[in-house]
Structures are given as C-alpha cells and as structure tokens.
Chain A
Amino acid sequence: MSLFIQQVINGIMLGSVYSLVALGLTLEYGILHIPNFSHGALYMVGAYVTFLLATTVGLNFWLAMIVAMAALAFIGILVERLVYRPLMLESPLSSFIAAIGLIFIFVDGALNIFGPDFKRFPPVHSQVFHMAGTTITLQRILIILVTVLLIVLLHLFIKKTMIGATIEATAQDLEGAQLMGISITRVRMTVFALGTALAAAAAALIAPIHLVHPGMGGPVILKAFVIIILGGMGSIPGAIVGGFIMGLVEALSGGYISTSYNEVFAFGVLVLVLAVRPTGLFGAK
C-alpha cells in the first residue's frame, strides 16, 4: 500500500512537470499552430541556466528559477522571431524540421559546453517528511504547489488581463483579431515567451531531483506532444489533466511493471489512440 501511495505522489509530481511543459506546448501549437518540437530542448536549456545560476552565481533557488524563466522567455522570443516567423506561411512540416535543427543546436551545444555527464544540483529543500509509510522530500511537495500556483497565475493572466484577452481572441479567430487591430506579432511573441518560460519553470523544479543532462528534453517533449494530442491541441484543461494522467501512468507502471518499458506504454497508447481516432481524442473533423 505504501508503494502505491509513494508512486501516486511521484506520479502527481511528475504530472506537474509534464503539465507545465504541455501547457507551454499547447499554447504554442494551439494558438499559433507552431509544432514547436524544440520545446524540450528549451526545457533542457532552462534546467542548465537554473543550474548555473544556483551553483556558479550562487543564487537562491527560487531566484534562479525566476531569472531562468525570464532568460528562456527571451530565448523563446528570439526563436520565434528568427526561425518560426519566416516559416509562418509554409506548411507545418517546415516548422517541424526547423525545430529539429534547433534541437541539434541546443542539445549538441549543451553537450559540447557542459559535457554529457549528469550534473548534480546542490541540495535544496531536502527536508524529508514521513507520511502513511512513505518518504517525501520537501522539493517534491513544492513542485506540486508551485505548479498549481503557476497554473492559477496563467489562468488569471489569460482571463483578467488585456494581453490575455488578445491571446484568446487570436486563438479563436486569427483574421477577426487582425481586423480588430490586434498585433499578431505581439501575440506570437507573448505566447512564445509564456510557453518557454513555463518549460523553464518545469525544468528548474525537477532539476534537483532528476539531475541535469543534455538529453533530458527528449523524452519530455515526446510525452508533451502525446499529452496535447490526447488532451486536445490548444486546450489548457486538456494539457493539465493530460499531464497529470501521464505522470501517474508512468509512475504506477514504472513502479509495478518495469521502468524500461514505461515509455513504450505512453507511446503505445498514443499510437493506438491515433489509429482509432486519427485526429486525436478531441480533434475536429
């Protein structure tokens, strides 16, 4: 029983991270129709930036995370402006391929700059709690809490601010929004900044637990795509719920079946769902 609770908590923690990543991705794909496959690589960069700030510069963890989010937001804006904007009118395939190019640059760049070894984060929030026969570190609880906080902030941002309203409008009707004088350029920039910042947050949160290495973005981005395809492109609730389900499935199957095959489960589910409903669970037409 305690294994079960342990894995459930792990699952919720993992799910939080996946949710944040999927949220960023669903904003980019759902609103801007950009399949930003490099989202995972940016996530990884976020982890490294946080790591550098926390170790070399010696910043407090939360401060490091916030600065990393800002830095990644900036990088996200650059990526949108230099790579995706010129490809705006081409087929999504071109953006997909450009994203692969970005992955090469970021991942191999990180490999060359930092080396392939797993970087250990300095111990932070490592107080341990014992509950119902399980052992949880404070960091894990904080991950869940901070994720909830970020989700609430995102919701408020979209529903309560002008910029959020323009984003919603653009998502619903691109041409109409343009006719109303909304600057699509601004929207693209904002959405990308937001999406990348969320990925950075997710990476910063999980870094102390999962360690930092250049390949960490790979499995995460595939899972994020699975989540948004299953949860519905552009659907924020879909990304959140999907993220948590993914986390739970992974933790439980890893705990009870086998860790080597747990990725296969997630992808297998996707392949099966797409075989039955080629447009995803919530897709139209």
Chain B
Amino acid sequence: MEPFAQSQSMRRYAFLLIIVFAFTIPLFVTSRFYLHVLIMCCIWGMAATSMNLIMGYTGQVNLAHGAFFGIGAYASGLLILKLGFNFWFAMLVACLITVLVGFFMGVLALRTKGSYFAIGTMCFNVIVTVIIDSWDTLTEGARGLLGIPRPPSIPLLFGKEISFSSLVPNYYLVLVFLLFTLFVVHRIVHSMMGKSFAAVRGNEELAESLGINAMGTKLMSFLISTFLAGLAGVLYAAYIGFLSPEISDYHVTFELLVFCLIGGLGTLVGPLIGAFILTIVSELLHGLAFPRLVIYGFLLIIIIIFLREGIAGGVRKLWLKVAQEGGR
C-alpha cells in the first residue's frame, strides 16, 4: 500500500479507538468537576470545529462566530422558557433561526474580502451582542436569562428513563452531538463540495474560471458553519441553564479563534484539540489568579509566527514526512 493510504487506514483505527474510549470515560471518571470540564470541552469543540469549516477550509476569516453561538443559545432558551417549546423542537427551530440570521449576514458580508470581511463580521458580532443586551424585554438583557431546563428525560423500556439531571447523561448527549458535528464536517470536507470550498480558499478567481460559483460556495460553507455553531449554543443553554449577553460577545469569537489556530486550522481535529487543551487548562487554573488571556495572547503570537498550522497541522506534516520516508 502507498504510504498515504496506509496512514489513512491507521488514522481510521485510531479514531475508532478514541471514540470507544470517549464512550467509556464515565466508567472511570466519576468526579463531577472533571465530567463538567469534559462537557464544556465537547461544546467548545463543536463550536470550534464549525468555525473551522468557514475559516480553515473555505479561507474566510469569519469573526462573527460567537454571535451565532449566542443566537442559538438564546433562541432555544427563549423558545423553551417563553413559548413552552419542547427541547428537541426548540433545538431544531433555534438552529434554523441561527441559519436564517446567518443567511442575512452572509449575503451582505460575503461580498467583501479579506480584512474588510473580518472587520465587517466583527462589527456584526458587536451588533448582535448589543441587541441581545439592549432588547431586554425579549432577552432579559444584562439581567440574564435564567432557569433554562435540562432536556426532558428520555423514556426507555421497562419504566426506566434517561434523566438529564445528573452529569453523565449530559456528557453522552454532548458527545453524541460532537460526533455528529465531526461526522458532518468530515463528510463535507472529503466530498466534491469540500473540494469546492478549498478551491475558493486557494484561488477564488481560478475557481470562478472553472465554473465554481464562489459566492454561493462561500455562502453554503457559512450557513453550515452557523447551523453547527447554533447547535453548540443550544446545548450550552440547556446544560448551563442561564445565559447572559456575553455569551455572544466577540471575546467568545476570539477564544474560538485561538482554539482553532493553536490546534490547527484546516485539519479536522485541530480545533478540537485546541478546544480540549485550552478548556481543560483554563478550567483547572480557574481558581488561581491566572492571567489566562495574557498567556493565550503570547501563545497565539508564537504560533502564528512560528507554527502557522497549529499543533495538529504540525503533527500532520511530521507524520506525512515520516510516512513518505518509511515507504521507500
């Protein structure tokens, strides 16, 4: 087998092992604190992976991602609390609302390029946060939206049920959705649609001359990524139970950006790795007087100057080099 195919099937085995491992974690990790950290890792991992789709694979610096996370969270929270929607139905509708807002923003913003697009999307992020904060008759503004319930219990056979009042079922819930997100992104990236995204990222003019509708492609990538961001927001709202406008703030966007960059844009697992490592580190050091962002800042600068592809990207390059040499 060529070294490339060899490394591919090895990677698949590794993935399966990790997934199985992930499912068995609650058997030996019983501490509430660590389970909480893992749940947050999964949620941020979803948000970061979805950001990777528009940024890493399609090459558009979207700095409004936090806004969509927040919209998904608030939409589902409000639908459940104020309109009495069922959790699963609220999840679906909230994600659709997020995509709708994303569509509006995408159609306006994607006409611009590069730094203009970055700034435009950042302004949009600010607008969303300000609206959530100021429209307090709808969103409770700075008072915060409180009391969002956990998902309703899922009835099983023999009178048993899965109740989300304890942590473990919540962990499995977010794990399943994380895997769903990874699955969707994986399928897209390895398809002709994914190749179109990469083409637009590589050279937009060339892609257009080959018959690829650049604007439509960017919009599609954007919409999928906002849907998944909204989904992460919904899970966040149901798990944490209360929301404040900060959850859609551009600081959230920046943190997601850091996860993606440190883990490696443009690789599937990079943002996940970034999200996991940094969430774990920041939760563990939560109590200490720890200038977390200062360290992030230094990390970011060092990575962008010296290790542009992040950890996962660097590992992949190393792996390919080793695989190529080993194949001789």
Mark A residues whose CB is within 8 Å of B.
35, 83, 86-87, 90-94, 96-98, 100-109, 111-112, 222, 225-226, 229, 258, 260-261, 263-264, 267-268, 270-272, 274-275, 278-280
Contact A278 B297 (CB under 8 A): no
Of all A-B residue pairs in the complex, the 8 with the closest CB atoms, nearest first, are A104-B297, A101-B300, A108-B293, A105-B297, A267-B123, A101-B301, A275-B108, A278-B112
Q: Which residues of B contact A83 (CB under 8 A)?
A: 301, 305
Mark B residues whose CB is within 8 Å of A.
61, 108-109, 111-116, 118-120, 122-124, 126-127, 130-131, 133-134, 254, 257-258, 261, 289, 291-294, 296-301, 304-305, 308
CB nearest neighbor in B for A86: B305
Q: How far is the CA of A91 from the CA of B291 in the complex (A)?
A: 29
Q: How far is the CA of A93 from the CA of B305 in the complex (A)?
A: 12
CB nearest neighbor in A for B105: A271
Partner of B115, one of A87, A92, A111, A260: A92
Contact B305 A87 (CB under 8 A): yes
Contact A102 B109 (CB under 8 A): no
Contact B305 A104 (CB under 8 A): no
Q: Which residues of A contact B294 (CB under 8 A)?
A: 104-105, 108-109, 112
Q: A100-B300, A108-B292, A264-B131 are in contact. Are A278 and B118 (CB under 8 A)?
A: no
Chain B at the A interface: SS class: helix
Q: How far is the CA of A106 from the CA of B134 in the complex (A)?
A: 28
13 A–B contacts from the bound complex (CB under 8 Å): A87-B304, A92-B115, A97-B257, A97-B300, A98-B305, A104-B254, A104-B293, A105-B298, A222-B126, A229-B119, A267-B127, A274-B116, A279-B112
Contact A93 B114 (CB under 8 A): yes
Interface centre among A96, A97, A112, A225 (most CB of B within 10 A): A97
Contacts A101-B297, A107-B293 known; 9 new A-B pairs at CB < 8 A: A94-B304, A97-B261, A106-B297, A108-B294, A271-B123, A271-B127, A274-B112, A275-B109, A278-B111
Q: Which residues of A contact B299 (CB under 8 A)?
A: 101
Partner of A96, one of B113, B118, B133, B298: B118
Q: Which residues of A contact B298 (CB under 8 A)?
A: 101, 105
Distance between B113 CB and nearest chain A CB, rounded to angstroms: 7
Distance between A163 CB and nearest chain B CB, rounded to angstroms: 27
Partner of B124, one of A106, A226, A267: A267
Distance between B211 CB and nearest chain A CB, rounded to angstroms: 22
